[in-house]
Structure 1
Amino acid sequence: MIHRPPAPNSTHEQKIQRAASAVLYTLLVVLALWVVREFLPAVAWAAVLAIVLWPAYGAIESRAWFRGRTTLIAALLSVAIGLLVILPIAVTAIQAGGEAHELYVWVHDAQENGVPVPDFVSRLPVGSRQVNDWWQANLAQPLKASPAMQHLHGDTLVNFGRHFGARAAHASVTFGFTLVTLFVIFQAGPKLSSTLMRGARRAFGADGAQLLQRMAAAIRATVTGLVVVGLGEGVLLGAAYLATGVPHAALLGTVTAVAAMLPFCAPIVFAGAALWLAAQGSMVAAAILAACGCVVVFVAEHFVRPVLIGNSTRLPFLLVLFGILGGASTFGLIGIFIGPALMTVLMVLWANWAE
């Protein structure tokens, strides 16, 4: 009996096999992403940090003493990121702990005796009587019997504490996995970068590789614009807090710097500080602080930040703003950096289509 070699697959069968392979690969990728879905935020944060720090990685790796020591470089950069996040939180917690006793005494006194109407209420140009009446009815009497505070019973506070603790624990775990992922990315080093670029060229051609580089540049520019401008606003407004007599000016400046990294959040902090000064009767200092804050935020948000982000990504200011705010509302905090990258993709696709 003569065995004949199997006949080659027909064109129709080959198309079916390719379609089946594509479906199988897609299902496997979706299944893998679903399995690791809890760790995707950590991977996304690590990717953003790696993109931002890649020039620093290259500069360190180019030094003769560090050449080829990818594990050491990865450890140094990961530890540096960890300290940059942990140290401010630790300092803030220590200072807050120092004020905990005074806060407890104030809250206990407010529950027993109420909060007296501040002097500045009588000096309000509009609505002084209405504010005074509301304060007398809700806050001037003991807070434990106040109608405005009845919903803040023990169970509500306990549930709030549990929810806050759970979110803090989840954020801590995510940050820990972020550092581990960042270490692995840096340890892979240039090999990982070349693999990604080679895969992009193979899958999408030269345009795909260029688009990937543009997205990385957009993320790096966004982080630079947000962080640098935020730190600048924190320093300037911290000096304003110190000059106007706001207590804990350094701590409040740090809070302002963090808030300023998010668009239009810094006014919440300096407006609260200005209101506190007004409540203490320092109306001139409050006005000066409010004016300084408005000037600093206006210049930073409308001139410095758009230039830093828009010039690097070649995006108009409106698209930068839409990318930051839309990304934050869609993906959360990580979306602040993803949004401008997606806007860059949109601009590149539009430019290629319009040619």
Structure 2
Amino acid sequence: MAENRPIQLGNARELLDVLIRAGLIAVLVMFCFEIFQPFLSLMLWAVILAITLYPLNQRLAALLGGRPGWSAAFLVLVGLACLIGPLSLLGTSVAESVKLGINTFENQAIEIPPPPANVQDWPLIGAPLFGIWSHASSDLTWALTQVAPHLKGVSKTLLTQMAGVGTGILVFVLALIVGGVIMAKGEIGHRTGVDIATRISGPQRGPQLAALCTATIRAVAQGVVGIAFIQMLLVGIGLVVMGVPAAGVLALMVLLLGITQLPVLLITLPVVIYVFAHDGVGVGTIVFAVWTLLAGLSDNVLKPLLLGRGVAVPMPVVLIGALGGMLTNGIIGLFIGPVLLAVGYELFMSWVKQPLAAEESQR
């Protein structure tokens, strides 16, 4: 018994040492996370951009005589020149639309005019549409009078989202700059990523997981988020130039539809009909209609060019990532969410499909 007591005391002391070390490490990690948390979205989007654009940066660096720093700087400057103007216009439009909506709700100034008499003569839908429209024009003001006092909290939420649009644009610009710095040191970053994956999963699985993460990020960022972002810019520029009400909000809806792989014509076609009904048929409206419809259909051309190969992420995963990212991190989360959730999904499925140690020993 006397011999077992020192052994038990030694085991207890070792266990206490392990718990103290683990506690100190947990405290250190917690403090580091609190310090890094304000920059988390920025760094995540910068890393996603760097991984996505790195193959293009390598090809451009080869043309510049093996200078990845110069090629990264060139890509950042071209990206900023192409994006700052359209993003600023869309951000301003979103802010104005939200302000107008808040003022309208607070002043209870929403009114629906009565329908024209000729609506009744429309085939099939004329009579029911006339009845619904007439009822809405006569009763909606009373309904809003009853509901408006309860919408003050919504107004605050909309103001917060409006501020988040400007912050999201700023984060996008800064992330592009930081992504350029990461691309300039791409080889070091690649080796570091492989080393981290190897440390976590071992020398056999580590490089495979690093390659899987890289392929997933590029596939989703290029083939889903990238195409939707290009469509948003093309459609949004036309909406702003034409002076369509709530152009920025409509552009964000185009982005969401593009990410969820729904047809953008659900937005562009009603807008074109509205512009023709409001401004009449003219050169400007015809050019706008052609531009908007072609921009809405541009994904059919962009997908064969940008869609990643070898990684097929289910669309529900992308949709949940987009909506969840937008709810948690605002506009920038709409870009980060699908990519991160797709990476998590692919890693989880890779772990599920990995053969067990017992199965490997039997082979």
| 2:51 corresponds to | 51
Cα shift readout 1:45-70 (whole Å, capped 9, x = no counterpart): 111111101112222333344526x2
Distance 2:27 2:118 in 1: 65
Uncovered stretches (5+) of structure 1, i.e. residues with no partner: 1-9, 100-110, 140-145, 283-288
SS in 1 for 2:355: helix
Q: Does 1:137 align with 2:131?
A: no
| 2:129 corresponds to | 128
Report the CA distance shift for 1:353/1:22 in structure 2 as closer, same or farther (over 3 A). Answer: farther
Q: Which of 218, 221, 230 is the equivalent residue of 1:220? A: 218
SS in 2 for 1:115: coil
Report the CA distance shift for 1:115/1:231 in structure 2 as closer, same or farther (over 3 A). Answer: same
**Post-superposition offset of 1:12:** 7.3
Report the CA distance shift for 1:64/1:165 in structure 2 as closer, same or farther (over 3 A). Answer: closer
Report the CA distance shift for 1:124/1:237 in structure 2 as closer, same or farther (over 3 A). Answer: farther
Distance 1:120 1:77 in 2: 56
SS in 2 for 1:312: coil
Distance 1:96 1:16 in 2: 57
Q: Residue 317 of structure 2 contacts residue 338 of structure 2 at CA under 8 Å; is this kept in 1? A: yes
Q: Does 1:186 align with 2:183?
A: yes
| 1:40 corresponds to | 40
Distance 1:351 1:96 in 2: 45
Cα shift readout 1:193-250 (whole Å, capped 9, x = no counterpart): 2122123223432312211211111110112212564378679999xx99xxxx679x
Q: Residue 86 of structure 2 contacts residue 233 of structure 2 at CA under 8 Å; is this kept in 1? A: no
Pick 1 or 2: higher relative contact order, CA cutoff 8 A, min separation 6: 2
SS in 2 for 1:62: helix
Q: Residue 121 of structure 1 contacts residue 131 of structure 1 at CA under 8 Å; is this kept in 2? A: no
**Post-superposition offset of 1:132:** 3.5
Report the CA distance shift for 1:273/1:49 in structure 2 as closer, same or farther (over 3 A). Answer: same
Distance 2:90 2:166 in 1: 17
**Post-superposition offset of 1:78:** 2.9
C-alpha RMSD of the superposition: 4.9
| 1:337 corresponds to | 339
Q: Single out whichever of 340-349 and 187-196 deviates more from structure 2.
A: 187-196
**Post-superposition offset of 1:38:** 2.0
**Post-superposition offset of 1:149:** 4.4
| 2:286 corresponds to | none
Distance 1:88 1:281 in 2: 24
Distance 2:263 2:30 in 1: 37
**Equivalent runs, 1:303-318 vs 2, <5 Å:** 311-313=309-311, 315=312
**Equivalent runs, 1:41-80 vs 2, <5 Å:** 41-65=41-65, 67=67, 70=69, 72-80=70-78
Distance 2:40 2:134 in 1: 52
Distance 1:166 1:256 in 2: 18
Cα shift readout 1:8-56 (whole Å, capped 9, x = no counterpart): xx78766654554344323312321122212211111111111101112
Q: Which of 173, 192, 196 is the equivalent residue of 1:195? A: 192
Distance 1:344 1:112 in 2: 47
Distance 1:222 1:181 in 2: 20
Q: Which amino acid aligns with 2:348?
A: L
Q: Single out whichever of 83-92 and 51-60 deviates more from structure 2.
A: 83-92
Q: Which amino acid aligns with 1:192?
A: G
Q: Residue 224 of structure 2 contacts residue 258 of structure 2 at CA under 8 Å; is this kept in 1? A: yes
**Post-superposition offset of 1:324:** 0.4
Q: Residue 87 of structure 2 contacts residue 169 of structure 2 at CA under 8 Å; is this kept in 1? A: no
SS in 1 for 2:172: helix
Cα shift readout 1:129-153 (whole Å, capped 9, x = no counterpart): 42143144047xxxxxx32443568
Distance 1:327 1:232 in 2: 19
Distance 2:320 2:23 in 1: 32
Q: Residue 197 of structure 1 contacts residue 209 of structure 1 at CA under 8 Å; is this kept in 2? A: yes
Q: Which amino acid aligns with 2:316?
A: F
Matched residue count: 308
Distance 1:74 1:112 in 2: 50
**Equivalent runs, 1:1-355 vs 2, <5 Å:** 17-18=17-18, 20-65=20-65, 67=67, 70=69, 72-92=70-90, 115-118=113-116, 121-122=119-120, 123=122, 125-126=124-125, 127-138=128-139, 146-150=141-145, 159=156, 162-203=159-200, 204-227=202-225, 229-230=227-228, 258-263=255-260, 264=262, 266-273=264-271, 276=274, 311-313=309-311, 315=312, 319-332=313-326, 333=334, 334-353=336-355
Uncovered stretches (5+) of structure 2, i.e. residues with no partner: 1-9, 98-108, 281-288, 327-333
Report the CA distance shift for 1:43/1:112 in structure 2 as closer, same or farther (over 3 A). Answer: closer
Cα shift readout 1:259-296 (whole Å, capped 9, x = no counterpart): 443213725413532663796699xxxxxx9xx98xx8
Taking only the aligned residue pairs, the percentage that are identical comes to 19
